[in-house]
């Protein structure tokens, strides 16, 4: 494990098996793993705290992450590496079925100014309890970022999941959430109203992505909206994770205090630029198959 890191990411890494109209492919994935991968490709030093079996899938996932500069800290070896089976429709949108367990062994979180979590790891018991405890332990010394990225097919108690998300939102400094997630978490509610309520609960920034309708942010500086970028979509796998990584990269600073000062000082123009840059990064990911976020050189030339 790296002695120094810019971001600690806590959560699942798995093998995606994607059934698309043009055939089936297998590739590494998992929302937190995708975020760590995207951060590594941007030249940051991410550490991923995760579970992986000592099997072919686990070795493939580890190699995939390490090639992009991610330090992998394995918190326990399950009997087999988890899988997610994605079914893509004609427009490239994905739905998922999972074979996953999340019960990490105790770990010592690497020191980093930013700690990120989300998706399965933040909701699926028993590991979700450990993740929540870890965030409570580090929040005084690290900026916490959170993306619920809910997988309803894995939720056995919707009320518990919604209450857990609410607690993690209150613990976080920055939250990114999709409109689709908000529809599940708060059915029938206006997304802007929910975002404002979440902001009042504790975060300094809440960002909502709305797919083809763009994204918006709520912050002490106000509400900022940015239109979607035109792109030919191959599939949406990893798009939200790429967007999340771009947000994290946009607030990068050597210490948590400096990160918080940066967030507090953002103007509406700063926020619009951050959303636009994050959307541009996600547009690269959706333009090619699977969770294949852009390298920093691709973003510089875009």
CATH number of the structural domain spanning residue 119: 3.40.1190.20
Rounded to 10 degrees, the C-alpha dihedral 31/122/6/64 comes to: -30
Residues of the chain with pLDDT under 70: 1-3, 109, 301-302
Residues 86 and 76: beta-carbon distance below 8 Å: no
Q: Is 78 among the domain residues?
A: yes
Q: Is 162 among the domain residues?
A: yes
The pTM assigned to this predicted structure is 0.94
Predicted local distance difference test score (pLDDT) of residue 95: 79
Tens-place pLDDT, residues 93-103 = 777 788 898 99
Tell me how far apart the terminal alpha carbons of the chain are, to the nearest angstrom. 33
Tens-place pLDDT, residues 106-140 = 998 678 999 999 999 999 999 999 999 999 999 99
Q: Is 276 among the domain residues?
A: yes
In whole angstroms, give the CA distance from residue 8 to residue 118: 12
Predicted local distance difference test score (pLDDT) of residue 89: 82
Q: Is 149 among the domain residues?
A: yes
Structural domains counted in the chain? 1
Cβ burial 67-92 (10 Å sphere, 16+ → b, else e): ebbbbbbbbeebebbbbbbbebeeeb
Q: Is 1 among the domain residues?
A: no
**What residue numbers bound the domain in which 133 lies?**
7-301
DSSP tag of 80: S
Q: Is 183 among the domain residues?
A: yes
Q: Is 69 among the domain residues?
A: yes
CA 121 to chain centre: 11
Q: Could you tell me what percentage of the chain is helix, strand and coil, using 3-state DSSP and rounding each to the nearest 5? A: 40, 25, 35
The closest alpha carbon to 175, from 165, 162, 164, 189, belongs to 165
Predicted local distance difference test score (pLDDT) of residue 3: 58
Q: Is 272 among the domain residues?
A: yes
DSSP tag of 204: S
Task: Count CB-CB contacts under 10 A for residue 4.
Answer: 10
Long-range residue pairs from 103-109, CB within 8 A, at least 24 positions apart, any chain: 103/51, 103/76, 103/78, 103/127, 104/49, 104/50, 104/51, 104/75, 104/76, 104/130, 105/75, 105/76, 106/75, 106/130, 107/49, 107/73, 107/75, 107/134, 109/8, 109/10, 109/49, 109/134, 109/137, 109/138
Pairing of strands 215-219, 205-209: antiparallel
């Amino acid at each position: 494990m790296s002695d120094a890191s810019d971001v600690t990411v806590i959560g699942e890494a798995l093998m995606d098996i994607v059934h698309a109209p043009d055939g089936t492919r297998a590739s590494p994935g998992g929302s937190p793993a995708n975020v760590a991968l995207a951060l590594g490709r941007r030249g940051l030093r991410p550490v991923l705290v995760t579970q992986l079996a000592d099997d072919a899938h686990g070795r493939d996932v580890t190699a995939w992450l390490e090639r992009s500069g991610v330090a992998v800290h394995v918190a326990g070896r399950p009997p087999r590496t988890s899988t997610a089976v994605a079914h893509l429709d004609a427009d490239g949108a994905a739905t998922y079925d999972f074979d996953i367990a999340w019960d990490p062994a105790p770990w010592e979180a690497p020191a980093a100014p930013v700690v990120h979590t989300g998706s399965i790891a933040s909701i699926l018991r028993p590991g979700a309890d450990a993740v929540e405890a870890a965030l409570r332990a580090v929040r005084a010394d690290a900026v916490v970022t959170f993306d619920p990225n809910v997988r309803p097919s894995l939720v056995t108690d919707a009320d518990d999941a919604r209450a857990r998300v609410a607690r993690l939102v209150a613990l976080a400094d920055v939250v990114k959430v999709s409109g689709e997630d908000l529809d599940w978490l708060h059915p029938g509610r206006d997304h802007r109203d929910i975002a404002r309520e979440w902001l009042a609960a504790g975060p300094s920034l809440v960002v909502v992505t709305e797919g083809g309708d763009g994204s918006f942010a709520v912050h002490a500086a106000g509400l900022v909206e940015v239109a979607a970028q035109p792109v030919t979509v191959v599939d949406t796998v990893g798009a939200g994770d790429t967007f999340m990584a771009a947000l994290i990269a946009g607030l990068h600073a050597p210490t948590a205090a400096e990160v918080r000062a940066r967030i507090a000082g953002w103007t509406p123009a700063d926020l619009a630029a951050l959303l636009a840059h994050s959307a541009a990064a996600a547009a690269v990911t959706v333009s090619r198959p699977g969770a294949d976020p852009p390298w920093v050189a691709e973003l510089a030339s875009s």
